Amino acid sequence: MTLLQAATTVRHNAYAPYSRFKVGAAIRAASGAIYTGVNVENVAYPEGTCAEAGAIAAMVAAGETVIAEVCVIADSPEPVPPCGGCRQKIAEFAGPDVMVTLCTTDGKSRSMSVAALLPGRFDASHMARS
Ligand code: THU
């Protein structure tokens, strides 16, 4: 199964009754295994979680911490880039050259590296004096 197929399939399970914007995410980890996630909204709006966060949680729960590739899909006019928080979450487990492919349900896509998504990322080196 391709990452796009996995993200497309899982997207149908997104719980998005408030925004009506369903998002699916799929991660290929270092082992080659695919982990998926969807956005899960909440009536207390800030408690909702993004699809990327769900896929990362599934990956870590399975014992993996290295992302090789990411695919995100939503029904939007143009490929939707991950939110700021998800960029930082992806960067925790992905090197700067890892590719993130953003897709629409009608077939548009755009690929960006993690470095391009999150220039100037905060990382452990910034805490060197702590
Ligand atoms: N959302 C994601 O799941 N991933 C993104 O990259 C962008 C936004 C979700 C959060 C919320 O449930 C809905 O899309 C609208 O913002």
CB 37 within 8 A of CB 58: yes
Domain extent listing, the chain: 3-118
CA of 51 to the centre of ligand 1 (A): 7
Name the average pLDDT for the chain: 97
Question: Does residue 40's CB lie within 6 angstroms of at least one atom of ligand 1?
Answer: no
Q: What is the pLDDT of residue 123?
A: 87
| Domain covering 3-118 in this structure, CATH number | 3.40.140.10
Judge whether 92 counts as a catalytic residue: no
82 Cα nearest atom in ligand 1 = 6
Helices assigned H by DSSP within the chain: 3-11, 51-61, 84-93, 114-117
Pocket test of ligand 1: the residue of 13, 15, 27, 39 to mutate, having most ligand atoms within 8 Å of its CB, is 39
Question: Does residue 21's CB lie within 6 angstroms of at least one atom of ligand 1?
Answer: yes
Dihedral-angle region of residue 13 (phi above 0 means left; psi in -120 to 50 means alpha; beta otherwise): alpha
pLDDT in tens, 4-61: 999 999 999 999 999 999 999 999 999 999 999 999 999 999 999 999 999 999 999 9
Pocket test of ligand 1: the residue of 10, 11, 13, 23 to mutate, having most ligand atoms within 8 Å of its CB, is 23
Which long-range contacts (C-beta less than 8 Å, at least 24 apart) are formed by 44-50? 45/18, 48/18, 50/23, 50/25, 50/82, 50/83, 50/85, 50/86
pLDDT in tens, 54-90: 999 999 999 999 999 999 999 999 998 999 999 999 9
Question: Does residue 24's CB lie within 6 angstroms of at least one atom of ligand 1?
Answer: no
Q: Which two tokens stand for residue 58?
A: 């599934």
DSSP labels for 92-124?
HHS-TT-EEEEEETTS-EEEEEHHHHSTT---G
Strand order in the sheet with 99-104: 34-38, 23-29, 67-74, 99-104, 109-113
Please give the model's pTM, rounded to 2 decimal places. 0.96
